[in-house]
Structure 1
Amino acid sequence: MLEIRDIKTTYGKIAALKGVSLDIREGGLTCLLGPNGAGKTTLIWTISGILKAQSGSMKLAGEELAGLKPHQIVEKGVVTVPENRLVFPEMTVKDNLIVGAFSRRKAKGGVEEDLESVLDRFPRLRERANQEAGTLSGGEQQMLAVGRALMARPKILLMDEPSTGLAPIIVEEIFEIIGKLRDEGRTIFLVEQNANLALDYADHFYLLEQGHVTFGGQPGEVDHDELIARAYLGARKAS
């Protein structure tokens, strides 16, 4: 679905991504793991057009995305669920969801039907449809951020650290939602630090360290890689 090849992104003189290459596979959940400062969010921002890559290629089903503006990338079907949710706090839940369909403003119909579909998926959002988003709990705001992204009818969902700031029981609930989306055949690129939980849901994963992809494989391979075990699984050792 999305081919990333030799992407290099800098902050001023600091090289954040140093030639990143990976594939986001259609109809599956691809996970990117890595410590703080590895460049995970930088990659999300680069794919979504918020940051401009200095070089490299990002092709969605063969069509180049590098150089497009963020709203153009959303219109192509690459939609981000940002870290820390970033809902519009003074707008209602319903209005936040409708904003998610902004990229479809030129199309006729479908928005109300999709709104009902999202509210059916998240009953708590339906209960709070006319409530200001800033009054929701962290978990509810995460559901709202996912629902808002779904309103854009994405081809790929980019999810940046969905577990950030949430209680463990809520994190489990959010990952169940992610798992259901994957089981529906949606293409998901998940950036996450909770490696144990992320690998339970991932079909494929990559490890990013200091701006380089240092490992890629299937989750079942994780116990055979000492680097992943040392970086993410604490006392667990590779067998």
Structure 2
Amino acid sequence: MLEIRDIRTSYGKIAALKGVSLEIREGGLTCLLGPNGAGKTTLIWTIAGILKAQSGSMRLGDDELAGLKPHQIVEKGVVTVPENRLVFPEMTVTENLVAGAFSRRRQKGDVAEDLDAVLDRFPRLRERASQEAGTLSGGEQQMLAVGRALMARPKILLMDEPSTGLAPIIVEEIFEIIGQLRDEGRTIFLVEQNANLALDYADHFYLLEQGHVTFGGDPATVDHDDLIARAYLGARKAS
């Protein structure tokens, strides 16, 4: 669905992405693994238009995303669930969800239907619909961030470290939600530090090291321990 070719992104003179190429496949969960500082969040921000690529191509079907502004990329159907949730803390749960449909604000009837569907999906959000988002637990805020993204009717969900700062039992719950979305045929690009869980849910994965994609494949065909050792310890597991 989304083809990324030779993307290069820098912070000033510091090159963060050094010619990244990968594909986010339609109707599946593609996972990006790598150590801290590898450029994973930089790639999410580049796809989302928050950072501008110096060169390269990001094609969604016939549309070129490179060079578009963030709101234009959302309108094309590429929507981000950011790291640390970033909900609007002084707005209610309902107001946060409606904000996610800003690009569809003229479709009032459809937005109302989608709001009801999201609240059905996340009963705890329905219970707290009039509550300020900043008073929710971390897990509830993560559900809200996912629900807010769904309100945009995304073609692709970009999910950046959804397990950050959450208790293990809540992480499992969040991944069950991610698995449900994948099973519904949604296209997901997941950046995640919890490699074991991510590989359990992924249909395809890539390894990013120092701004380069160094490996990619089907999680079922690789030794997970070996891959995780390479991704987070910088070396292959001793044989």
The equivalent of 2:124 in structure 1 is: 124
Q: What's the secondary structure of 2:223's corresponding residue?
A: helix
Distance 1:233 1:8, change over 3 A: closer
1:30 alignment counterpart: 30
Preserved contact between residue 105 and residue 111 of structure 2 (Cα < 8 Å): no
Q: Find the counterpart in structure 1 of residue 135 from structure 2.
A: 135
Q: Shift of the alpha carbon at 1:105?
A: 1.7
Whether 1:144 aligns to 2:169 is no
Whether the 8 Å CA contact 2:196–2:224 is kept in 1: the answer is no
- Aligned partner of 2:203 in structure 1 is 203
- Residues 50 and 175 (structure 1 numbering): CA distance in 2 closer, same or farther, change over 3 Å? same
Change in Cα spacing, 1:102 to 1:238, as seen in structure 2 (3 Å) is farther
- 2 CA distance for matches of 1:227 and 1:183? 25
Q: Give the Cα–Cα distance (whole angstroms) in 2 for the partners of residues 215 and 209 of structure 1.
A: 9
Residue 133 of structure 2 aligns with an amino acid whose one-letter code is A
Find the counterpart in structure 1 of residue 5 from structure 2.
5
Number of the residue aligned with 2:54:
54
Q: Is the 8 A contact 1:155 1:187 kept in 2?
A: yes
- Is the 8 Å Cα contact of residues 224 and 238 (structure 1) preserved in structure 2? no
1:57-96 counterparts in 2 under 5 A?
Answer: 57-96=57-96
Query: Is the partner of 1:149 in helix, strand or coil?
Result: helix
Q: What is the number of residues matched between the two proteins? A: 238
Q: SS at 1:109's partner residue?
A: helix
TM-score between the two structures when normalised by the length of structure 2: 0.95
- Map 1:174-189; keep pairs closer than 5 Å: 174-189=174-189
Contact 1:89-1:134 at 8 Å conserved across structures: yes
* AA partner of residue 168 (structure 2): P
**Contact 1:229/1:238 (8 A) holds in 2:** no
Matched residue, 1:41: 41
What residue identity is the alignment partner of 2:104?
Answer: R
Give percent identity, aligned residues only. 90
Q: Residues 222 and 238 of structure 1 are in contact (CA less than 8 Å); yes or no, is this contact kept in structure 2?
A: no
Instruction: Classify the secondary structure of the residue corresponding to 2:109.
Output: coil
Tell me by how many angstroms 1:109 deviates. Answer: 2.6
The AA in structure 2 aligned to 1:185 is G
Unaligned runs of at least 5 residues, structure 1: none
Root-mean-square deviation (CA, aligned residues, Å) is: 1.8
